[in-house]
Amino acid sequence: MSASSQRRSAEFLQISGQFKLGALVTEASHPVTAHLSEVAKQDVAAALGLLFQADGDVVDKFREFVASGRAEQIAATVRASIQAGGRIFFTGCGSTGRLSILLDAIWRDFWRQQSGRRGGESRTEKTFKTPTVASGDEHDFENRTFSVMAGGDYALIKSVEGFEDLTAFGEKQLADLGVSAKDVVFAITEGGETSFVIGTAWAGVQAGAKVYFVYNNPDAVLCGHVQRSREVIQDPRIEKINLMTGPMSITGSTRMQATSIQLCVLLTVLEMVVRELINGGDALLCVQADRQVSPTNFIPAQFLTHLETLHARLCSPEFLAALVKLVALEESVYRGGGRNNYFADRFAADVLTDTTERSPTYCTPPFRKFDDATATASWAYLFLPEPDAASAWRSILKRVPRCVEWGDEEIRALVGAEKFSRTREIIRKISTAELLRFRIGLDGVSHRPPRPGDSAVAVLSAAEAGNLGSPGNFFHSQLEAARQAGAQTALICFGAQKSELRATHSALIHVPVPPAGFLLDGLTRVAVKLVMNALSTCTMVRLGRVLGNTMVWVVPSNLKLIDRATRYIANLTGLDYAAANALLFEIIEYIEPRLRADQAYPPAVGLAVVRVKHGLANEPAERFLQAQ
Domain for residue 423, yes or no? no
Amino acid identity of 402? R
Same domain, 321 and 249: no
Residue 129 in this model has a pLDDT that exceeds 70: no
Domain for residue 43, yes or no? no
Same domain, 244 and 391: no
Answer yes or no: are the C-beta atoms of 560 and 19 closer than 8 Å: yes
What pLDDT digit, counting tens, does each position of 52-96 carry? 999 999 999 999 999 999 999 999 999 999 999 999 999 999 999
Q: Residue 628 — pLDDT band, cuts 50, 70, 90?
A: confident
Residue 231 in this model has a pLDDT that exceeds 80: yes
152: left (phi over 0), alpha (psi -120 to 50) or beta: left
Whichever domain contains 484, its CATH number is: 3.40.50.10490
pTM over 0.85: yes
Distance from C-alpha of 467 to C-alpha of 85, rounded to nearest angstrom: 39
- Annotate 133-200 with DSSP letters as a single string: TT-S-THHHHTTEEEEETTBGGGGTS--TTGGG-HHHHHHHHHTTT--TT-EEEEE-SSS--HHHHHH
Q: Residue 10 — pLDDT band, cuts 50, 70, 90?
A: very high
Same domain, 94 and 233: yes
Same domain, 160 and 196: yes
What total number of domains does the chain contain?
Answer: 3
Domain for residue 416, yes or no? no
Same domain, 323 and 240: no
Q: What is the pLDDT of residue 203?
A: 98
Distance from C-alpha of 563 to C-alpha of 556, rounded to nearest angstrom: 8
Query: HEC states along 190-243?
Result: CCCCCHHHHHHHHHHHHHCCEEEEEECCCHHHHHHHCHHHHHHHCCCCEEEEEC
- Annotate 463-497 with DSSP letters as a single string: HHHHTTTSTT-HHHHHHHHHHHTT-EEEEEEESS-
258, 281, 309 - which closes a domain: 309
Same domain, 381 and 277: no
Domain for residue 523, yes or no? no
Q: Residue 559 — pLDDT band, cuts 50, 70, 90?
A: confident
Same domain, 69 and 212: yes
Least confident interval from 123-132, 163-172, 239-248:
123-132
Please choose, from the candidates 38, 190, 197, 16, the residue with its C-alpha nearest in 3D space to the C-alpha of residue 567: 16
Q: What is the pLDDT of residue 500?
A: 56
Domain for residue 179, yes or no? yes
274, 309, 344 - which closes a domain: 309
Domain for residue 426, yes or no? no
What pLDDT digit, counting tens, does each position of 367-426 carry? 999 999 999 999 999 999 999 999 999 999 999 999 999 999 999 999 999 999 999 999
309, 329, 351 - which closes a domain: 309
Same domain, 613 and 502: no
Residue 279 in this model has a pLDDT that exceeds 80: no
Same domain, 148 and 234: yes
Domain for residue 361, yes or no? yes
Q: How many CA atoms lie within 13 A of 511 on its CB side?
A: 28
Domain for residue 539, yes or no? no
Q: Whole domain around residue 237: which residue ranges? A: 53-309
Share of the chain above pLDDT 70, in %: 92
Mean of all residue pLDDT scores within the chain:
90
Q: What is the pLDDT of residue 557?
A: 82
Same domain, 561 and 601: yes
Share of the chain above pLDDT 90, in %: 80
Answer yes or no: are the C-beta atoms of 104 and 268 closer than 8 Å: no
Q: What is the pLDDT of residue 119?
A: 44
Same domain, 345 and 470: yes
Same domain, 332 and 259: no
